[in-house]
Amino acid sequence: MLEDGATPAGTGESPTAQSPNSKSRYSKHIILTTYPGQSGIDPVPLEWGAPDAKSRGPVIVSRSGPLLKRRNAMGAHGGSYSIYNALAIAAGHLDPNFRPDFRNSQPTFKFPWQPAWADKTKIVSMDPYGHDIVNQFREELEAGWDIRPTMAVTRANMKLAEIGEAVRDGELKVDGNIVVDSSGEVRVTKVAVEPVWYLPGVAERFGMDEGTLRRSLFEHTGGSYPELITRPDLKVFLPPIGGLTVYIFGPPERVSDEKVKLALRIHDECNGSDVFQSDICTCRPYLAFGIREAIREAQNGGSGVVIYFRKEGRALGEVIKYLVYNARKRGGDTADKYFRRTENIAGVRDMRFQALMPDILHWLGIKKIDRMLSMSNMKYDAIVNSGIPILERIPIPDHMLPSDSRVEIDAKINAGYFTTGKQYTMEELSAVRGRGWEKWEDVSGLFAVYGVESGF
């Protein structure tokens, strides 16, 4: 059980630099970091890959009171929202010792245990028991331990314009269960997942050593997590990044049923297209196509799954993305230069690194994918190399491509994206040109300033 005493002594402490007027809800010493041999440091055992939740142990990141010494993981809950949590505490809106009341929050569907949950090579970027914390660690929660779910399972109705159109056009039927009515309202089971990284496993996926991974995470987050360096005994890190959401159409128990067909789309966030329907890329149309086909498969007695990853703009973010858009539009937007524009500004063409993506498929118990609604060779390779065969790959139909998206899709096809259609040469790509900004009054002078080729 937990011991009392919230102010561990020893190395790693530093006097605070508080102004005399500032009211603090913290003790007068900041604990900058901890060390494995430090007095009182006694992490709750956490054995990644153990056969069940109880023998695996709970993931504890809280620095609250005595838990500071008993934590077995680094980082904070909430992914990128952990910063808002800190802000809420600083602003006095949230008690730092708040404990949630989880009554009635349990999953709407009990996902069956899968062998991958106990395989420390198959799942390294999420807690396979993250949805079942309240059930598995009830006693610890009642004793006041701060243990939080990192996954949640719910159900909902959703309505997408494209699905409504598909129902009107007779491409999807109303079955009263999956597609509820003629307006295209659809029932869905959703699973939200926050990232929980088992660092040795993450390092192995990328073929790097754990020390390099830890050092890089420490250095390039402004030194935010010093225990990445000082606590090699802590193997689990909750990174401040976005997670993913699984959308399941049809009965969720069918997802892991090998006997029925599975249609799957892995979709990486593109807010400008997904939500606001920008016409510069294929994201929203492919997402809508993926949802339509997932629903269709479920209606045919199979299962349909769409997994939405928070990796905006190839995990480069919208600022980089818009800088690249500008460079494209001002530099003559042709498909042969598409990737170079991104590399010029971001240094790489893509930071999504699909190596961790298949974890969720293994968690769901997916053993094969009958219809993969994606053209990405990176996603395909990651899934197949993780041991899940893909039987058929389905490109987005040409008639669904938005007007200004040819530059992107043709460049991707040239770079190895799957297609059943034409694969363009670099020479042909130089003739695939996106819409310029000619009709925007403010840009008439810009081409003169930057020059058409402008060095991008």
Q: Which is nearer to Zn ion, 274 or 297 (CB)?
A: 274
Please report how the helices 338-346 and 406-414 are oriented relative to each other, as an axis angle in degrees rounded to 10.
90
Least distance to Zn ion from the beta carbon of 296, Å? Answer: 23
138 is catalytic: no
Q: Exactly one of 62, 82, 150, 273 binds Zn ion (CB under 5 A); which one? A: 273
350 is catalytic: yes
Least distance to Zn ion from the beta carbon of 157, Å? Answer: 26
- State yes or no: residue 153 binds Zn ion (CB under 5 A): no
Given a contact cutoff of 8 angstroms between Cβ atoms, the answer to whether 286 and 160 are in contact is: no
- Per CB under 5 A, which region of 94-102, 178-186, 263-271, 419-427 contacts Zn ion? 263-271
DSSP 152: E
Q: Which is nearer to Zn ion, 114 or 273 (CB)?
A: 273
Residues 84-113 that bind Zn ion (CB under 5 A): none
For residues 368 and 366, what is the distance between their CA atoms, to the nearest angstrom?
6
For residues 238 and 62, what is the distance between their CA atoms, to the nearest angstrom?
11
Q: How many residues bind Zn ion (CB under 5 A)?
A: 4
Catalytic, out of 146, 350, 359, 410? 350
Residues 278-337 that bind Zn ion (CB under 5 A): 281, 283
Q: Which is nearer to Zn ion, 173 or 349 (CB)?
A: 349
Instruction: Name, in order, each residue with C-beta under 8 angstroms of 106's C-beta and a sequence gap of 6 or more.
Output: 134, 135
- The alpha carbons of the chain give a radius of gyration, in whole angstroms, of 25
- Per CB under 5 A, which region of 271-279, 288-296, 384-392, 398-406 contacts Zn ion? 271-279
Least distance to Zn ion from the beta carbon of 146, Å? Answer: 38
Query: 123: closest CA among 211, 44, 55, 193?
Result: 193
Least distance to Zn ion from the beta carbon of 270, Å? Answer: 3
Name beta bridge partners: 188. 156
List the structure tokens of 22: 């500032």
List the structure tokens of 5: 């005493």
Given a contact cutoff of 8 angstroms between Cβ atoms, the answer to whether 214 and 225 are in contact is: no
Instruction: Let me know the angle formed at the C-alpha of 245 by 338 and 85, rounded to the nearest 5 degrees.
Output: 100
Amino acid letter for position 84: Y
Q: Which is nearer to Zn ion, 114 or 405 (CB)?
A: 405
Ramachandran class of 416: left when φ > 0, alpha when ψ lies in -120 to 50, beta otherwise: left
For residues 338 and 327, what is the distance between their CA atoms, to the nearest angstrom?
10
C-alpha torsion sign, points 253, 256, 262, 263 = positive
Q: Which is nearer to Zn ion, 244 or 281 (CB)?
A: 281
Instruction: Let me know the angle formed at the C-alpha of 193 by 377 and 387, rounded to the nearest 5 degrees.
Output: 40
Q: Which is nearer to Zn ion, 281 or 316 (CB)?
A: 281
Least distance to Zn ion from the beta carbon of 263, Å? Answer: 21
Q: Which is nearer to Zn ion, 193 or 270 (CB)?
A: 270
Catalytic, out of 352, 371, 393, 406? 352
Least distance to Zn ion from the beta carbon of 350, Å? Answer: 13
Q: Which is nearer to Zn ion, 111 or 286 (CB)?
A: 286
Instruction: Name, in order, each residue with C-beta under 8 angstroms of 170's C-beta and a sequence gap of 6 or more.
Output: none
Least distance to Zn ion from the beta carbon of 267, Å? Answer: 10
Q: Exactly one of 172, 270, 378, 388 binds Zn ion (CB under 5 A); which one? A: 270
Distances (CA, A) of 158 to 183, 291, 396: 11, 11, 22
Residue with the two structure tokens 């929202």: 81
Given a contact cutoff of 8 angstroms between Cβ atoms, the answer to whether 342 and 316 are in contact is: yes
For residues 396 and 287, what is the distance between their CA atoms, to the nearest angstrom?
9
Residues that bind Zn ion (CB under 5 A): 270, 273, 281, 283
Q: Provide the annotated active-site residues.
A: 350, 352
